[in-house]
């Protein structure tokens, strides 16, 4: 399963055509993904708590609209209040003639970026990291070519406004060598910023990789171990 904010998949210019309560994005995070490489499960869906009946009707209508328009094979969703699942359901077919359920497993994909952001923000809340100082405070060796003379901050990395390239030279999708995160980040010193930091949105896997590396070097743990301990287990 994957987690993403509802705002992230409201289609630009089309959100008004679907009746969704304006408070919806404050009420839930949605477990949603296409059915590529998903594994069906047998767990029962959780019927909606009575106070959420209207909300779940609206969400279900929205989901069916999105699935039809975007040809999404399957979606799984859960609504959580104070650590309690108050509604969960599956829509569509996870495999041929196999209905999706609330517990159907999907590829996590880029939703893992949110786990990284959550870990960073927990440290910001504790005062251990600062969103608005140059990231060289945490990774002094990070020096991509920057003709703009403006430093990159954590805030800009998390918002995809750092100006970094999309993929690093080492450790990208097509790199079969499985390098360390440190090697991936070091390779970014061979690259040049595309935009001045803070001026444009440009999706960057490299930037989120740098966030993960900052977690490693500041917390003294491998990224995966830290995410499991501080985000997934809690």
Residue-level pLDDT at 120: 97
List own/partner pairs for 92-99 with CB under 8 A and 24 or more apart.
92/35, 92/67, 93/35, 94/35, 94/38, 94/39, 94/40, 95/35, 95/38, 95/40, 98/40, 99/40
| Cβ atoms within 10 Å, residue 58 | 15
DSSP letters for 9-41:
GSPTTTGGGS---TTHHHH--EE----TT-B--
Q: Is the pTM of this model over 0.85?
A: no
Question: Exposed, middle or buried: residue 111 (CB in 10 Å: 0-12, 13-18, 19+)?
Answer: middle
Give 157-184 pLDDT, tens digit per residue.
Answer: 999 999 999 999 999 888 999 999 999 9
Give 144-161 pLDDT, tens digit per residue.
Answer: 999 999 999 999 999 999
Instruction: Give the SS3 label for residue 192.
Output: strand
């Amino acid at each position: 399963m994957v987690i993403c904010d509802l705002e992230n998949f409201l289609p630009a210019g089309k959100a008004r055509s679907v009746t969704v309560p304006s408070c919806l994005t404050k009420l839930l995070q949605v477990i949603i993904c296409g059915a590529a490489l998903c594994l069906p499960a047998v767990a029962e869906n959780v019927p909606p708590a009575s106070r959420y009946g209207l909300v779940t009707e609206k969400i279900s209508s929205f989901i069916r609209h999105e699935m039809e328009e975007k040809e999404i094979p399957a979606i799984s969703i859960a609504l959580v209040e104070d650590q309690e699942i108050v509604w969960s359901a599956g829509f569509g077919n996870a495999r041929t003639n196999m209905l999706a359920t609330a517990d159907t497993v999907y590829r996590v994909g880029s939703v893992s970026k949110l786990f990284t952001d959550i870990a960073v923000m927990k440290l910001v809340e504790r005062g251990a990291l600062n969103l608005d100082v140059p990231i060289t405070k945490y990774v002094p060796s990070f020096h991509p070519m920057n003709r703009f003379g403006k430093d990159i901050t954590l805030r800009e990395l998390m918002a995809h406004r750092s100006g970094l390239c999309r993929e690093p030279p080492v450790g990208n999708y097509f790199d079969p060598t499985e390098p360390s995160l440190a090697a991936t980040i070091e390779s970014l010193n061979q690259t040049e910023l595309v935009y001045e930091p803070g001026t444009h949105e440009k999706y960057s896997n490299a930037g989120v990789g740098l966030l993960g590396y900052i977690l490693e070097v500041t917390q003294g743990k491998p990224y995966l171990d830290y995410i499991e301990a501080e985000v997934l287990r809690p």
